[in-house]
Chains A and B, each alone.
Chain A
Amino acid sequence: MTPTAALIDPFTPFSVPFMGRPLLLLVALAIAAGTVGVLVNLRRLEFSTDGLTHAVFPGLVVGATLGGAAGLMPGAIGAAVVAAVVLALISRRGQPRDTAVAIVLTSFFSLGVVLVSGSGGATGSLSDFFFGRLLTITWADLGLSLALIGVAVLLVVLTARPQLYAAFDPAGARRAGLPVLVLEVVGTVAVALVVVAASASVGTLLALAVVIVPTAAARALTRSLAAAAVVAIAFGAATGWLGLWAVVQLAVLGVDVAPGATVALTMIVGYLAALAIGHLRGTSTRHSAIASSAGAAS
C-alpha cells in the first residue's frame, strides 16, 4: 500500500489493539447513546447527566491516587453512588432538581480540582481526567466498561415502555399507577453506569458528549422516535470512528492531539451538520407544503 493510500485507508489503523479497543468502546457507547441517551433527551436530564459526569471526577482522582489506572473505575463507581444519594437527599428536602444538580456538580467538581492540584501531578493532569486516556485503555478496562454499558442498556430496554409513558406524561403515568419514582431511579442508575463506563476511559467531558450529542443530532434529523434511536447509534459509531481516524491522520502529520477531545469535537461538528441538514429539510418541506397548498387552491 502506498503512503497516500495508507493515509486515507479507513480500516487499517484499527487493526492494531490500541486503536481497536477505543473503537469498540465508542461503538458500545453509541449503542448506549441510542438507548440511555434517548431517555436522557426525552426526560430532559441533560443537566443531571452533566452533574453526574462532574460528580464522577473526584472519584477518578481518588481512584488514581489509591490504585493508579486500575483504580479509576472503582473510584468512578463509588463517586457516582455517593452523588446519586446526595442528589436524592437534596431533592427530598424540597429543593428543585436543577438546584440539587448544581450543588452536587460544583461541590464534587471543586473537590476533584482540589484533589488534583493537591497531589502535585501525582494522579495525572486535569486534562487526563477531562478527556480521558482513550488510547491506553486495557482489555480489562474495556471489559468492565462493556459490562456496565450492557447493564445500563438492558435497564432502559426492559423498562422502555413505562419509561416512555413517564417521560411523555409524568402526571398521567402517576395517575395510571406506574411506579414513577422507581422508573426515575432506574433511569438515573442507567445514566450513571454509562457515565462511569465512559469517564474512566474517555474522560468526563467526552462522557457527557457521547450520551447527549448523538441523540440531539438524531432528533434534528428525524421526527420518529424509533428512527431517532437508530440514527443516534449510527451517528455515535460514525463520529467515534471518524474522530479516532482523524487522531491517526494528525499523528501521521506529526500533530499529537488529545483523542478524547478530538472525538468530542467530531461529534459536535456532526451535530452542527445534522442541525443544518434538519433545517434545510424543514425549509424544503415547508416550501413543498406551501407549493402543494397553493396548487390545490388554484
Chain B
Amino acid sequence: MSEPVVEIADASFGYGGAPVLSGVSFEVRAGEAVALIGPNGAGKSTLLAGLLGLAQHEARVFRVPAARGEIGTLPQSSEIDPAFPVTLEQVVAMGRTPRLGLKWPGRADRRIVAEAIEAVGLTEHRGTRFGDLSGGQRQRALLARALAGEPRLLLLDEPFNGLDHGSRDALLETVRRLKAQGVALLITTHDLDLARAVCDRTLLVNGRQIAFDETGCVLTLERVEAAFASHVMEIDGHTLATTEHHAAAHGAHHHHVLQDDGAAGAEHR
C-alpha cells in the first residue's frame, strides 16, 4: 500500500473563534482520490484552506506536502475574469511559477507545460485566449495549470460544476490518469455518482466528520441524510429530499423520498 500524502488525525479547522469543522481524521495516499462531500457551509472549503495553510487548524496529526508547488489546486473557473488577456499556454505556464520563483522558465519547464496541456487534451487550443475557451475547456486549462506545478497532492473544488458531458468525461479520464501516475487527489463535489466513479474513499462532513471510508460504504442513504439534513440534493437530474427536509416541506411521514424530476424509476442508493 502506498504512503499517505496527507495524514490528518483529530483535527479542527476554522478562522479563529469556534471551529467551522471538527473531529476530522483522514488520509489520502499517493495514487488515490478521496471525495470530500457535504452540504454548503459544511466546512469543505475551510478544510481545503486549512490544508493550504490559509485557515487555522488544531490537530493531533497534521501531515501535508509542505514544499512550494507540491499542492496543486483547481478553483472554480467562474472566479476568473474571462477578459484577462492571456492565452491558455500562458495560464498553464503560471503553474510553474511557485516552483520557479523569480527565475524565468527554461526548456524543461516549457516541456512540462506542453505535457500538462496535452494531459487535459487541449494542445490544439494552446494559443487560444483563455476567455475564448468554453467553460469546460477553461476548467481543464486550470487543471493543466495545477499539473504544470508537478503536484504530489491536487485539491479540486467542485471540478464538475457546469460541465457538459464531453468535458466531464474528459476530466474524469484525466483524474484516472493522474491517479495512475501516483498523484493524490482530494475532490469536493455534490455529485455522488462522480464520487463513486473515480474516488476510492469518501470523507463526509457537515460541521464535523460524519464518515471516512471506502466510497461505497460511506455513501449510504442514512449517512448522506445525516450530512445533508434539511437539504435537497441533485443526483444526475433527480432531486433527493432527505427525511427531515421532506417532513418540514410536506409535514408528512418519515420515509426516504426520491422525487424524480427527470427520467422515471432511477434510484441511487
A contact residues vs B (CB 8 Å cutoff)? 42, 158-159, 161-162, 164-165, 167-169, 171-172, 174-178, 219, 223-225, 228
Contacts and interface: CB of A to CB of B under 8 A. Distances in A.
Contact of B129 (A42, A174, A223): A223
Contacts of A165: 94, 97
Contact of B75 (A164, A167, A171, A177): A171
B161 interface: no
Contacts of A223: 85, 129
B28 to A, nearest CB: 17
24 contacts: A42-B85, A161-B97, A161-B102, A161-B104, A164-B90, A168-B84, A168-B94, A171-B75, A172-B75, A172-B79, A172-B80, A175-B54, A175-B155, A176-B73, A176-B95, A176-B97, A177-B68, A177-B71, A219-B85, A224-B85, A225-B85, A225-B86, A225-B90, A228-B85
Chain A to chain B: the 3 pairs with minimum beta-carbon distance, closest first = A165-B94, A175-B73, A176-B98
Interface in B76-123: 79-81, 84-87, 90-91, 94-95, 97-98, 100-102, 104-105
A174 B159 CA distance: 19
A11 to B, nearest CB: 35
Contact of A169 (B72, B80, B102): B80
Given A159-B102, A162-B102, A176-B69, A168 B149 contact: no
Nearest to B132: A223
Interface residues of B, number: 31
B54 A158 contact: no
Chain A contact residues, majority secondary structure: helix
Contacts of B72: 176
Contacts, number: 67
B85 A176 contact: no
Interface of B: 52, 54, 68-69, 71-73, 75, 79-81, 84-87, 90-91, 94-95, 97-98, 100-102, 104-105, 129, 142, 145, 149, 155
A169 B84 CA distance: 10
A158 B100 CA distance: 12
B91 A168 contact: yes
A174 B85 contact: no
Nearest to B102: A158
Contact of B94 (A164, A219, A224): A164
Contacts of A164: 86, 90, 94
Contacts of A219: 85
Contact of B80 (A168, A175, A224, A225): A168
B198 to A, nearest CB: 22
Given A169-B75, A223-B85, 10 more contacts: A42-B84, A159-B102, A161-B100, A164-B86, A168-B94, A169-B79, A175-B54, A175-B155, A178-B98, A224-B85
A177 to B, nearest CB: 5
A172 B73 CA distance: 7
A38 B97 CA distance: 19
Nearest to B103: A161
B69 A177 contact: yes
B97 A162 contact: yes
Contacts of B80: 168-169, 172
Nearest to A41: B85
Nearest to A164: B94
Contacts of B91: 168
Contacts of A176: 69, 72-73, 95, 97-98, 149
